[in-house]
Structure formats: C-alpha cells, structure tokens
Amino acid sequence: MVTNVRLGRTSPDERREHILAVADEAFTLEGYGVTSMSTIAARLGGSKATLYKYFPSKEELFAAVMQRKCEAVIGPLEEMAVAASDPAKLLQAFGTFFLTRLCQPDAIDINRTVHGEGQRFPEIAHAFFANGPEAAYAILVPALRRFATAGLIHCPDPRLAAEQFLGMVRGDIHMRVSCGLVPPPTEAEIERQVSHAVRIFVRGIAREA
C-alpha cells in the first residue's frame, strides 16, 4: 500500500510520482469506474485542487499511470532494438523480456482492468493500447524494416509481422495467467514459449533465395 506523504513538502516531480503511485493503487483495487478524483485526493490526503493542478481529468491521470508503468518496459526494448544486428537474437531477447513483463502481477492487473471496463470506458482502452502494444510495435517495426532493407529478412509488411510475432509470444500462457488459471510462467516456460515462436517466425521471414 502506498503511504501518504505531505505533498507540500516535496518537489513537483516527487509530488507527481506520488500521485501516480496512489492513483495506480486506487485503479487496481477499486476499478477505473468506481475510482473518482475525489477518491484519489482523499487517498493523497490533500485537496482536489492540488490533484487537478497536475492532472486535469481522470482520463489524463489514468493515461499517465499507464505511461509510467510502460516506460519501465519500453526503455530496455528500445536499447535491444537499436543495438541488434541479428534478427533471431533480437526477437528472442525482445520476446523474452516482453512476455516476462506482461505476466507480472501489475501488468496482469492492467489487462484485467481494460478487459473488464474498456467497453464502458473506452478511454482506458485507448490509453492501454497507446502506451502498451503500440509502444512495443513502434520499436519492433522499425527494427524489422531495417533488417528487411539490409536484405537479412523478407518482410514486406513489418507492422503485420510485429503484431503476429508478439501475438505468438503471448500465446495461451498470457491468457491463462490473466484468467487466474495458472501462476506467472517460470523462466524455463518463458524460454520455451519464446524460442518456439522465434523458430517459426524466423522461418517465415527468411530471406528468399
């Protein structure tokens, strides 16, 4: 549980981080629909005016929470893509990190929130896709395009290829974890899942003779 702090005695950046942490916890525990800006302000121990100074609406606050969560994933993925010179090695590293992070409890909580409330509150679905899947595609697509331009792979539609590869990586494992049927996969299970997806995918985008 996030503890209260006196927002007035912290720097603006620290206040913003604390607001995001408290809002994250509220959205997870109570759901997006039930959670209000008043609820979050009460949890913060401050006024709504202070909260609105940083985030003008609940929609913008949720989007910022999503961005904060995803930044921890996107940074390492960007580093992998920029440094990669071998398609198979990139896909293995990318897929392993992606699936590992996707099956962590906080990521599963987000997935359940979006699936449970996204139809009633489309703004949370938009925030999820913008900061999650779309951010991952924005990294993988240029890398696949670069490999194709270099003649290392045959990939006329990098966007479609990226979507299908990450879909293969998620596979049945992520669905089962999200439904609460199984615990998060072990490193060995993730390795098996990703390696199999990479083998199939790399054969499919192999350079034409």
Q: Which of 72, 99, 77 is nearest to 168 (CA)?
A: 99
**pLDDT over 60 (residue 3):** no
- Residues 91, 46, single domain; the answer is no
Q: Which of 37-51, 103-117, 131-145 has the highest mean pLDDT?
A: 131-145
Cα–Cα distance for residue pair 62/184, rounded to 1 Å: 25
**Angle at which helices 158-178 and 187-204 pack, to 10 degrees?**
150
- Residues 31, 111, single domain; the answer is no
C-alpha pair distances (Å), 152 with each of 9, 82, 124, 138, 155: 55, 16, 38, 20, 9
Give the pLDDT mean for 95-110: 93
Contact between 96 and 86 (Cβ < 8 Å): no
Q: Tens digit of pLDDT for each residue in 132-142?
A: 999 999 999 99
Residue type, 126: H
Q: Tokens for 92?
A: 């293995």
Q: Tens digit of pLDDT for each residue in 68-82?
A: 888 878 888 999 999
- Residues 13, 85, single domain; the answer is no
Q: Tens digit of pLDDT for each residue in 182-201?
A: 999 999 999 999 999 999 99
Q: Is residue 1 part of a domain?
A: no
Contact between 207 and 154 (Cβ < 8 Å): yes
- Residues 161, 82, single domain; the answer is yes
- Per the structure, how many domains does the chain have? 2
Residue type, 66: M
- Residues 48, 69, single domain; the answer is no
Would you give the end-to-end CA distance of the chain in angstroms?
58
- Residues 70, 52, single domain; the answer is no
Domain span at residue 160 reads: 62-204
